Amino acid sequence: MSGGLLVAGTTSDAGKSVVTAGICRWLSRKGVSVAPFKAQNMSLNSFVTREGAEIGRAQAMQAQAARVEPSALMNPVLLKPGSDRSSQVVLMGRPVGEMSARGYHGGRQEALLDTVVGCLEELRGTYDAVICEGAGSPAEINLRRTDIVNMGIARAARFPVVVVGDIDRGGVFASFFGTVALLSPADQELVAGFLVNKFRGDVSLLEPGLDMLRDLTGRRTFGVLPFRHGLGIDEEDGLRVSLRGAVRESVVAAPVDEDVLRVAVCAVPLMSNFTDVDALAAEPGVVVRFVDRAEEFVDADLVVVPGTRGTVRALEWLRERGLAGALARRAAEGRPILGICGGFQVLGERIEDDVESRAGTVDGLGLLPVRVTFQREKTLARPVGEALGEYVEGYEIHHGVAEVLGGEPFLDGCRVGAVWGTHWHGSLESDAFRRRFLTEVARAASRRFVPAPDTSFAALREEQLDLLGDLIEEHADTDALLRLIETGAPSGLPFIAPGAPS
C-alpha cells in the first residue's frame, strides 16, 4: 500500500484533528505504517520532539495515534500567535522570526511550498500512508493563491480530499455544497466526498439529505460519526482541554477519600500548552476549571498559572483583573499555587524582556525568588529529573531564562512555601510525581483528598486514541476510505458551479 489522504473541513474546529487521529489509529491497527502530516498549523499548544524540534501538539498526538515517533516533518510550519496580527514562525521545529499576517500571506507562505512538499515526500518514502490534516476551510478563496495546507498541498501531492463537517453546529449540507462550489475545477477534481461529524439521533433521518447531497454534488458521504462525550484530544487552541472536556461533560469520578480537590486555572491571554492540566483532570475527585475573576479563587485548593505566549501581557492582565492581589494573598496564607513556564515567570521578582514584548524591565509578582531574562534563542528541550522524590519527564519551550536566587529546588525552578514554579510542561503526566504533588496540595489546603493509586495518564490517553479509531472503524465506510487512500480520487467527479472566482 502506498498513498495518502487530505482531511479538510468546512470550518475550523469541524473535527479534522479527531478524524485524522482516528484514521491513523484505524490504519495502525490494520498493520499499515502510517504518519500524520499538517503542512502549516496555527497553535499555541506545541510539543518538543526527541530531536528538539517544536511542532503542533495535535500532530504529536496524531503520531501517537499512528504509533510512531513525532517528527518536525509532520508539521514543518507552525505559527504561534503573539497578537491578532502577528505570529512567530517556527520552521522545521525552530523559530525564524515574527511576521505579520499580511507579510506571511503576502509571499512568505507561498515560498514555503517546496519545503512542505519536500517533507511530505520524505514521509511518503518512509510510510505506507500519510494522512494530512487541512487548516480552517479549503474554501477560503481570499487565501487560495498562497495556500500550502489545504488544496495547495492536495494538488501538489495529488491526494484525494474528504471534507469533514460538524453537524452539531447546523447547516452542514449547505457547508458541504458551498465548500465544493467555491473551489476551482482542478481543486474540485480531488474532493472525493464528505464525513459528517458529531451527529446526534437516528441516522435514518439524515440519510435522505445525504442522498440529495450526492445527487447535487456527485460525491458520496464516507461516514456519519456520532457525537461522543469526552472524546478530547490535544487541542490546537481554544479553552477546551482534552481530559478536562471529559470532566466538564460528565460526572467527575468519585474521590478515593472524603474530599474532592478543586483546581482553578487562570485563563491568561495567549495561553499556551493548557494541556498541562489534563493529567490533573484525569484524577478521580479532581475538578478543573478555567477562571478569570479573583472571587473564583476562593474555593480553589490549587491555582495554576499556565504557560503563555505573552508573559508581560499576562502579568498586566492579572493585575488589571485583581488576580495578582488574590495570588499574593493566597501565597501569604500558605495556599497552593503552581506556575508553569510563562506562569512561573510572572511569579518571579523581575522580568527583563527585550524579545517577546520589548517592554524592558518589568516587576513580577514577587512570589518566588526568580529573575527572568528573555533571550532571542528559544529553549527547546526534553528534560528528565526528580522532584518530591519521584521521577519526572517534561518538555521546555521558552525564551525566558530563569535565575533562581533561593527557595527549595523544584524541577528547574523553585518552591517557597506552597508556591511552586517550573518551566517544565508535561511534568504532571508522570503518574507517581503527580500523586505526590497532589498529596502536598491536599495537605496545604487541609483537604482530606487522597489521589487514586492506579491512575495512568498514558493508559487513559491510549484509551482515548482507541475510541477515535473505533469511531472510524464502526461508523465510516473503511473499505471505501482504504480505496481512496490507495488509488486517489475517482475520475469523472462533476464540476459544481460557480467554482472559485478568477
Proportion of the chain above pLDDT 70, given as a percent: 94
Residue, of 244 and 10, whose pLDDT is higher? 10
Kindly state the DSSP code that residue 66 receives in the 8-state scheme: T
Res 386: pLDDT: 96
Q: Which residue's entry shows cell 515567570?
A: 345
Quote the DSSP letter at residue 74. Answer: G
pLDDT at res. 241: 40
Q: What whole-number distance in Å separates Cα of residue 255 and Cα of residue 250?
A: 15
pLDDT value at residue 86? 84
3-state secondary structure of 399: strand
| Catalytic-role residue among 119, 132, 266, 341 | 341
Residue 247 has pLDDT above 50, yes or no: no
Q: Are strands 396-404 and 370-381 parallel, antiparallel or unpaired?
A: antiparallel
List, as own/partner pairs, every contact residues 440-444 make where C-beta atoms lie below 8 angstroms and the sequence separation is at least 24, other chains included. 440/336, 440/388, 441/261, 441/301, 441/302, 441/336, 442/259, 442/261, 442/301, 444/334, 444/335, 444/336, 444/418
Task: Tell me what pLDDT residue 138 has.
Answer: 96
Q: pLDDT digits over 303-336, tens only? A: 999 999 999 999 999 999 999 999 999 999 999 9
Give the mean pLDDT of 472-501: 96
Report long-range pairs for 472-476 (Cβ below 8 Å, ≥24 apart): 472/19, 472/22, 472/23, 472/25, 472/26, 472/223, 472/225, 473/26, 473/29, 475/223, 475/224, 475/225, 475/226, 476/195, 476/222, 476/223, 476/225
- Kindly report the number of other CB atoms within 10 A of residue 319's CB atom: 14
Using CA atoms, how far apart are residues 342 and 488, in angstroms rounded to an integer?
A: 45
- Other beta carbons less than 10 A from residue 106's beta carbon: 12
Q: Which of 399, 423, 425, 475 is catalytic?
A: 425
Cβ 252 vs Cβ 285: under 8 Å: yes
Work out the end-to-end distance of the chain between its first and last CA atoms, rounded to an integer number of angstroms.
38
**pLDDT of 229:** 74
Q: How confident is the model at residue 102 (pLDDT cuts 50, 70, 90)?
A: confident
Distance of alpha carbon 296 from alpha carbon 322, whole angstroms: 11
pLDDT of residue 252: 61
Mean pLDDT across the stretch 405-434? 97
Instruction: Please give the residue that has the higher pLDDT: either 236 or 268.
Output: 268
Question: What is the three-class DSSP state of 60?
Answer: helix
Three-class secondary structure of residue 372 per DSSP: strand
Question: Does the CA dihedral 21-26-27-31 come out positive or negative?
Answer: positive
Residue 439: phi and psi, rounded to 5, are -65, -40
pLDDT tens, 383-419? 999 999 999 999 999 999 999 999 999 999 999 999 9
Q: pLDDT averaged over the chain?
A: 92
pLDDT at position 231, please? 64
Alpha helices per DSSP H over 268-387: 278-281, 311-320, 323-332, 342-346
Residue pair 240/394 in contact by the 8 Å Cβ criterion: no
The answer on pLDDT for 103 being more than 90 is: no
Question: CB count, 10 Å around CB of 271?
Answer: 23
What gap in Å lies between CA 355 and CA 145, rounded to an integer? 32
Count, residues in the chain: 502
- Which pLDDT band holds residue 234 (cuts at 50, 70, 90)? low
From CA 454, how far away is CA 78, in angstroms rounded? 36
If pLDDT is split at 50, 70 and 90, which confidence band does 347 have?
very high
Amino acid in the structure at residue 357: S
Would the pLDDT of 107 be above 80? no
Q: What is the CA radius of gyration of the chain?
A: 23
> What separation in angstroms does the CA of 48 have from each of 45, 94, 219, 391?
11, 10, 39, 19
The cell numbers describing 394, all together, are: 517534561
Q: Is pLDDT of 351 > 60?
A: yes
Range name among 79-88, 244-253, 281-290, 475-484 with the lowest pLDDT average: 244-253
Output helix, strand, coil percentages for the chain, rounded to the nearest 5: 35, 30, 35
Q: What count of other Cβ atoms lies within 10 Å of the Cβ of residue 494?
A: 12
Determine the pLDDT at residue 417: 96
pLDDT at 104 over 90: no
DSSP class of residue 108? I
> Phi and psi at residue 382, in whole multiples of 5°?
-125, 75
12's CB contacts (< 8 A; 6+ apart) are 135, 136, 137
pLDDT band at 472 (very low <50, low <70, confident <90, very high): very high
Whether 239 contacts 267, CB under 8 Å? yes
pLDDT of residue 249: 38
- Looking only at the bridges linking them, the beta strands covering 419-422 and 413-416 are antiparallel
Question: What is d(CA 371, CA 361) in angstroms, rounded to the nearest whole number?
Answer: 10
Reduced to 3 states (helix: H, G, I; strand: E, B; else coil), residue 167 is helix
- Looking at residue 64, its pLDDT comes to 97
Say whether pLDDT at 250 is over 70: no
User: What is each CA distance from 477 to 46, 179, 490, in whole angstroms?
Assistant: 32, 22, 16
To the query of whether residue 341 is one of the catalytic residues in this protein, the response is yes
